[in-house]
Structure 1
Amino acid sequence: MSTNARQQLQHHLRNARYEVLPLRGTLEQVQGLPPGTTVTVTSSPSKGTEATLDLAARLRGSGMHVVPHLAARLVRDSAHLDELLSRIEALGLTEVFVIAGDADNPAGRFTDALSLLRGMEEIGNRPHRVGITGYPEPHSFISDQMTIQATDEKARYADYIVSQICYDPNTIASWVKTMRARGVTLPVYIGAPGSIDPSKLLRISMKIGLGQSMRFLRKQHGVVGKLLTRYTPENLFDELSPYLVNPDYNIAGCHLFTFNEIAKTRQWAMETADRLQEVPA
């Protein structure tokens, strides 16, 4: 790893974004993060948007830079969307992350992230920054062509992209390069699981249908489960290090999916950054 790449990775780790779930005890777990840390709060059909915004408000009060997820399929109509955006603004939150959401049936006319983004533009009450998801490998439920088209269209309404989990660094790099060739220039945060329990990580990987990533893991180590017992995001970011300093790729930083193993993930990030600091130039 070059000196510039090492320094850039160290910077990204020290300034990583942490994604958390709005569950009991999350607030206490996040207290170990320094004030100003970017914490994104997920949204799910079982917990609803209220749980997301309630936790976001408490984290904001603890000095965090909080980014609530807005799930399109949980928003009833334009009036509901305007109400949510007004509440977000009143809470002093300046950023949201727009997703389709996992609800089987949409609550109203917003069926995907793109329709919600367009709804936000129609209302004219847009937060300062808006993030969207990008998929380095084919989505398990959507065709590759539709995913590409959706990313290109969503990018017109967004300020940055966070990549979905992918264990293959070559796939991630190729995805970013292909996006740039299509004219999508938004900064990208590389999404990766933090220091997560291997059995939990395997369940999540299978649930979201990481086909190409899982094949990559089998090719590299034979048995996926055994690999995940040794997984650390350090390997992924190490392989991606040449692209971190290449301006053509416009990599903005790291987005760590904690699945609420926040302390372990933070400890890993800081210890890795410290080791990078100690490496001789």
Structure 2
Amino acid sequence: MSELMTSPRRWSCLDQFSLEATARDMPALAQAAPELAPGTVVAIPFLPGESDAARLEAAARVRALGFTPMPHLAARHLPSRAALLRLLEGWRAGAGVERLLVLAGDRADPRGPYQDALSLIETGLLAAHGVRQVVISGYPEGHPRLSDACLARAMRDKLAALAAQGLAAEIATQFGFSAPPVLAWLAALRMAGVEVPVRLGLPGPANMRTLLRYAALCGVSASASVLARYGVSLNRLRSHAGPQWLVRQLADELTPERHGAVLAHFYPFGGIASLTGWLARQRFIDFPLPEARCS
């Protein structure tokens, strides 16, 4: 097992961050590869209408670039056990996948036998196909269709099922624009005894129109006052903004004792090149993070 230890080191949003890249983003990821650290975790969304061949190829390309592929596995989009097995076997054989982000998916009704992330975990097939770490979803601002109590219960059940199978766990959150709800959610999570690392979702630099579109799709709060502080003008839909204000506020308020192990997970809405360029311009921020030490 690993113990979380406090270390007074300097942190920046470049430190062990992860990012999202779709199958269509692979050429852009290849171009940006020299700007990213070897082993960077790259999440590959499970997009509706995308073929399994594209999902498998994307993971293989991420691995070939020297990064760590983390495909999404959306329970409600899987039509059958055979389809699940094809993906797990393909990811293992073609990309050595050991880490998955498992979620329910945004379909109202399941295509097949899997209702939610827990139903996938409980099959035992993930561990049987070489998966060693499973990332589950977190919602600091709540879910548009699920109560906070339902979300908390689902998280407890998923973490318990993963622990029972000896699988490591992390939580990756939806992106947001405002620090206070994130900080409150993290504090409540730790008070409830959840100690696994959390990757906080941060929107990469993008224009106002793009940010608002994704916020609406994902049920994220994007009020005028929050976006103004974030650096986006309501009167300039094409103006670009990065998350530097949000990162600074989080860094000023996060403490290991209260909020635990926290890393960044970027959603590059403005494109991977835009994100890596923004990251290259950032300066280190004083923020002591917990380190993992094997015992």
TM-score category by the smaller chain?
Answer: 0.7 to 0.9
Match of 1:148 among 136, 152, 175: 152
Aligned residue for 1:45, secondary structure, equals coil
Aligned residues: CA RMSD: 3.0
1:66-100: CA deviations, max 9, x gaps?
A: 11111111223334323322222212122111122
Partner of 1:217: 226
Query: Structure 1 residue 179: deviation in Å?
Result: 0.9
2:291 aligns with: none
Question: Which shows bigger deviation, 79-88 or 263-272?
Answer: 79-88
Deviation of 1:28 (Å)? 4.0
In terms of mean alpha carbon deviation, does 33-42 or 183-192 score higher? 33-42
Alignment of 1:141-180 (within 5 A): 141-156=145-160, 157=162, 159-180=169-190
The answer to whether the 8 Å contact 2:71/2:100 transfers is: yes
2:58 paired with 1:55: yes
**Unaligned stretches of 5+ residues in structure 2:** 1-6, 163-167, 287-295
Which residue of 128, 134, 139 maps to 2:132?
128
Whole-Å separation in 1 of the counterparts to 2:144 and 2:227? 18
**30 and 56 in structure 1: CA distance in 2 versus 1, 3 angstrom threshold:** farther
Q: How far is 1:29 from its partner?
A: 4.3
SS in 2 for 1:108: coil
Which one-letter code corresponds to 2:115 in the other structure?
T
Task: Report the structure, 1 or 2, having the larger strand content.
Answer: 2
- Secondary structure of the 2:72 match is strand
User: Residue 23 of structure 2: SS of its match in structure 1?
Assistant: coil
In the alignment, the residues of structure 2 paired with residue 227 and residue 73 of structure 1 have an alpha-carbon distance, to the nearest angstrom, of 38
SS in 2 for 1:119: coil
Cα distance, 1:5 vs. partner? 8.0
| Structure 1 unpaired stretches of 5+ | none
Equivalent of 2:78 in 55, 58, 75: 75
SS of 1:151's partner is helix
Instruction: Look up the match of 2:260.
Output: 250
Query: What is the CA–CA distance in structure 2 between the aligned matches of 1:5 and 1:236, rounded to whole Å?
Result: 22
Deviations 1:117-150 (Å, cap 9, x if unpaired)?
2224687435011111100012112222212222
Cα distance in structure 1, aligned partners of 2:92 and 2:21: 21
Match of 1:117 in 2: 121
Q: Which has the higher helix share?
A: 1
TM-score by length of 1: 0.83
Maintained 8 Å contact 1:97/1:131: yes
Q: Distance in 1 between matches of 2:72 and 2:33?
A: 20
Residue 194 in structure 1 maps to residue 195 in structure 2: no
Worse overlay, 245-254 or 223-232: 223-232
Hey, what does 1:95 align to over in structure 2?
A: 99
Q: CA deviation at 1:7?
A: 1.5
- Counterpart of 2:273? 263
Aligned-residue identity in percent: 29
The count of aligned residue pairs is 270
Give the superposition deviation at 1:159.
0.9
Residues 37-52 of structure 1 correspond to what in structure 2 (within 5 A)? 37-52=40-55
Match of 2:60, SS?
helix
* TM-score scaled by length of structure 2: 0.80
Amino acid at match of 1:186: V
- 1:133-191 Cα offsets, whole Å, 9 max, x none, are 10001211222221222222222325100111121211101101111111111111111
